[in-house]
């Protein structure tokens, strides 16, 4: 289908018109041919229905005959008085038990298995204290939790089941009315019993499904290709009162006489019918003559109609090649004229978008230059601080050495060897160095808490994200606090979707009014403020990411940064 659709879409308009005109003539002829074909097919299906019913009956007879033999074998065991006595008697002597099992139980079980090649094994489940044998005698407690146990114990009939790929029949052992022991005969058939019993060789592409009264699939036999539908599901729907309609298939069902199973037979209609070639051949000849006539008619009507579309296509090709200044004149108000008009509006929108994209590129370059300037300016100072640090150590000025060390770490992580991206742990180190200097400058009059998820420390982000936000929090939050001790909390973690990184800087300052918070991300401040960070994030990662500000006036302010994982 995809190849056919691609072929049709690549056709010239003239050829498509040919196809549409041809359809107008050929559809009535095709309908007539289909009607004739369907009538012939209907007669064939009626005959095929009779044949399928006969095959279904034969399969039922074959399965019922075999199950009847197995039922007789089970009855021979369940009504055997010696069996009833052995499996209900309380043994005090192991030798006596051994003799009874060897001379009575084993011969009957072995003989029954030998005479019925389709029986895999026979097991007696008993409540008596007999010696357990894995192949023939098992405690009944091992099957009391099975879903079939209660049903088997409440009736005197043989019940057939299919569980976990095994087909088996169970029946209660009856004896003297004084016996109170619970005993079951379990007969398991060979795995290929149903496949060997269902002869579908006479029916091509037939699908056979056997289901139990609950609609569970006991056995399913189908060809390699079943056209994508679940035959077992279909048979289950029929037993539950679903629709019997299945387009293209015939569905027949029959309840097996010797069990409570239902046999469903599903056969494709095409496997049962023969195409009436005479009707099809006559229809094709008439349609061929119609095609010849159409070729002449279409040539007359499509030439002028297609010419306008070719002209519009030529202008579109010029735009594709880069010519965006094209003079478009609409000569008519029909559908083609509407296409020309809309193409002109679209071209104007493209030119506008190009101009806007150019302005956005300029804005991006300006932001990058500002960030580069912020990196380059402290380079000389960073080298000088290393000298100051060593001089302070030589002079024993530990406090000066400590400050110089913080400044050195700050500018080293800021420069980052000229790279735009930095590890999260180094970004936090940069921020921490800056805060240590601020704490010294503020005489340690505020507290700082760090919370970072260890899973993100090796992630790559663009640098200089947190430090401007922290600087803003100190200047407009901590420094503006009039009562109480200032507190600053810096955190980094994975987002809820595990696909983003979320950083937050929160202070307990006086807060921000909502209109001022919105302006911080749209207006340029004097320094390298929140707007620059917000723009760099959106340029680097896209518009869904950036800074968000939340605040409660008089209580706190939280600035959050969301970026994708590297």
The edge-to-edge listing of strands for the beta sheet with 249-255 is 217-221, 207-211, 262-268, 249-255
How many domains does the chain contain in total? 2
- Strands 486-494 and 500-507 come out as antiparallel
87 in Cβ contact with 183 (< 8 Å): yes
Q: What mean pLDDT is predicted for residues 290-312?
A: 71
- Among candidate residues 132, 161, 194, the one where a domain is terminated: 194
In this predicted structure, what is the pLDDT of residue 317? 79
Return left, alpha or beta for 215; rule: phi > 0 is left, psi -120 to 50 is alpha, else beta: left
Residue 176: pLDDT band by 50, 70, 90 thresholds? Answer: low
Q: What digits encode the pLDDT tens for the residues 211-250?
A: 877 777 888 877 655 555 555 555 555 555 544 556 667 7
pLDDT on residue 195: 78
What was the pLDDT predicted at 227? 52
Among 194, 212, 238, the domain-final residue is: 194
Q: Which of 149, 166, 194 delimits the end of a domain? A: 194
Q: Is the dihedral of CA 426, 432, 436, 441 positive or negative?
A: positive
What is the token pair recorded at 314?
Answer: 């030529």
Phi, psi of 211 (to 5 degrees): -125, 150
Helices (H), 268-334: 277-320
- Contacts by 424-427, CB closer than 8 A, 24 or more apart: 424/452, 424/456, 424/457, 424/458, 424/459, 424/460, 424/461, 424/492, 424/501, 425/452, 425/457, 425/458, 426/463, 427/461, 427/463, 427/465, 427/466
347 part of a folded domain? no
Instruction: Reduce the DSSP state of residue 162 to 3 states and report it.
Output: strand
What CATH number is attached to the domain comprising 526? 3.30.565.10
Q: Is residue 290 part of a domain?
A: no
292 falls within a domain: no
pLDDT tens sequence across 47-82? 777 877 888 888 888 888 888 888 888 888 888 888
pTM: 0.42
**Residues 452-462: what's their mean pLDDT?**
91
Q: How far is CA 484 from CA 478, 480, 510, in A?
A: 10, 11, 11
409 domain residue, yes or no: no
Q: Which of 90-94, 297-301, 408-412, 478-482 has the highest mean predicted lDDT (pLDDT)?
A: 478-482
Please state, in angstroms and rounded to a whole number, the distance separating the CA atoms of residues 14 and 17. 5
Stretch 197-223: mean pLDDT: 76
User: Who contacts 439 (Cβ-Cβ below 8 Å, separation ≥6)?
Assistant: 446, 448
Give the mean model confidence (pLDDT) for residues 170-191. 78
Question: For the segment 93-112, what is each residue's pLDDT rounded down to a tens digit?
Answer: 888 888 888 888 888 888 88
Asked whether residue 128 is domain-assigned, the answer is yes
* Mean confidence (pLDDT) of the chain: 77
Q: Where is pLDDT greater, at 270 or 228?
A: 270
4 pLDDT band, cuts 50/70/90, is low
Q: Mean per-residue pLDDT for 246-260?
A: 77
Alpha helices in 207-276 (DSSP H): 231-239
Which region among 31-35, 285-289, 354-358, 488-492 has the lowest average model confidence (pLDDT)?
A: 354-358
Collapsing DSSP states into helix, strand and coil, what is residue 120?
strand
When pLDDT is cut at 50, 70 and 90, the band that residue 256 belongs to is: confident
The string of pLDDT tens digits covering residues 126-136 is 888 787 876 78
CA distance 186 to 172: 9
Structure tokens that stand for 105 in this block: 């139980």
- Structural domain includes residue 53: no
Quote the domain boundaries for residue 502.
419-564
Residue 527: pLDDT band by 50, 70, 90 thresholds?
very low
Contacts of the segment 478-487: beta carbons below 8 A, 24+ positions apart:
478/442, 478/446, 478/507, 478/509, 479/509, 480/509, 480/510, 481/508, 481/509, 481/510, 482/510, 484/508, 485/445, 485/446, 485/447, 486/445, 486/446, 486/447, 487/446, 487/447, 487/448, 487/449
d(CA 269, CA 267): 6
Residue 536 counted as domain residue: yes
Residue 114: CATH number of its domain = 3.30.450
Classify residue 506 as exposed, middle or buried by CB count within 10 Å of its CB (0-12, 13-18, 19+).
buried
In a domain, 533, yes or no: yes
**Confidence (pLDDT) at 276:** 60
- Whether the Cβ atoms of residue 191 and residue 203 lie closer than 8 Å to each other: no
Burial (Cβ within 10 Å: 0-12, 13-18, ≥19) of residue 267: buried
Between residues 439 and 368, the one the model is more confident about: 439
pLDDT at res. 561 = 93
User: According to the model, what pLDDT value does residue 167 have?
Assistant: 86
Q: For residues 29 and 287, is the Cβ–Cβ distance under 8 A?
A: yes
Choice between 351 and 455, residue whose per-residue pLDDT is larger? 455
| pLDDT attached to residue 370 | 60
**Angle in degrees, CA 436, 441, 445, rounded to 5:** 80
């Amino acid at each position: 289908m995809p190849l056919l659709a691609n072929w049709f879409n690549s056709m010239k308009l003239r050829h498509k018109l040919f196809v549409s005109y041809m359809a107008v003539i050929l559809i009535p002829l095709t309908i007539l041919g289909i009607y004739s074909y369907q009538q012939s097919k209907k007669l064939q299906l009626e005959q095929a229905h009779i044949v399928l019913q006969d095959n279904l009956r034969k399969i039922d007879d074959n399965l019922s005959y075999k199950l009847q033999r197995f039922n007789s074998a089970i009855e021979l065991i369940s009504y055997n008085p010696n069996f009833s006595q052995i499996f209900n008697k309380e043994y005090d002597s192991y030798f006596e038990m051994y003799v009874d099992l060897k001379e009575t139980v084993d011969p009957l079980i072995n003989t029954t298995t030998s005479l019925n090649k389709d029986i895999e094994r026979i097991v007696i489940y008993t409540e008596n204290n007999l010696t357990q044998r894995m192949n023939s005698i098992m405690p009944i407690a091992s099957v009391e939790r099975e879903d079939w146990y209660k049903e088997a114990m409440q009736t005197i009939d043989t019940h057939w089941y299919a569980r976990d790929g095994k087909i088996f029949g169970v029946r209660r052992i009856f004896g003297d009315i004084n016996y109170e022991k619970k005993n079951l005969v379990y007969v398991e058939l060979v795995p290929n019993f149903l496949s060997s019993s269902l002869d579908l060789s006479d029916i091509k592409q037939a699908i056979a499904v056997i289901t139990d009264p609950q609609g569970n699939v006991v056995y399913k036999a189908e060809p390699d290709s079943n056209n994508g539908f679940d035959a077992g599901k279909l048979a289950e729907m029929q037993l539950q009162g679903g629709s019997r309609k299945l387009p293209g298939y015939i569905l027949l069902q029959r309840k097996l006489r010797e069990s409570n199973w239902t046999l469903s037979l599903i056969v494709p209609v095409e496997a049962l019918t023969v195409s009436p070639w005479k009707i099809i051949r006559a229809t094709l000849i008439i349609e061929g003559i119609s095609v010849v006539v159409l070729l002449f008619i279409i040539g007359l009507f499509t030439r002028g109609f297609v010419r306008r579309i070719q002209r519009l296509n030529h202008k579109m090709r010029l735009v594709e090649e880069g010519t965006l200044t094209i003079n478009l004149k609409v000569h008519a108000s029909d559908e083609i004229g509407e296409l020309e008009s809309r193409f002109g509006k679209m071209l104007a929108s493209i030119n506008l978008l190009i101009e806007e994209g150019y302005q956005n590129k300029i804005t991006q370059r300006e932001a990058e230059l500002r960030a580069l300037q912020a990196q380059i300016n402290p380079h000389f100072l960073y080298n000088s601080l290393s000298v100051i640090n060593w001089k302070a150590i030589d002079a024993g000025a530990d406090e000066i050495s400590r400050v110089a060390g913080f400044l050195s770490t700050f500018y080293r992580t800021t420069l980052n060897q000229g790279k735009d991206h930095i590890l999260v742990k180094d970004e936090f180190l940069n921020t921490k160095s800056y805060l240590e200097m601020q704490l010294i400058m503020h005489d340690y009059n505020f507290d700082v808490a760090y919370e970072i998820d260890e899973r993100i420390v090796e992630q790559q982000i663009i640098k200089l994200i947190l430090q401007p936000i922290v600087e803003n929090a100190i200047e407009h939050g901590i420094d503006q606090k009039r009562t109480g001790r200032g507190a600053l909390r810096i955190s980094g973690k994975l987002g809820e979707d595990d696909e983003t990184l979320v950083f937050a800087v929160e202070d307990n300052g006086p807060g921000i009014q909502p209109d001022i918070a919105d302006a911080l991300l749209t207006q340029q401040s004097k320094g390298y403020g929140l707007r620059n960070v917000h723009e760099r994030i959106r340029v680097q990662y896209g518009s869904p990411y950036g800074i968000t500000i939340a605040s409660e006036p008089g209580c706190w302010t939280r600035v959050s940064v969301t970026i994708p994982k590297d």
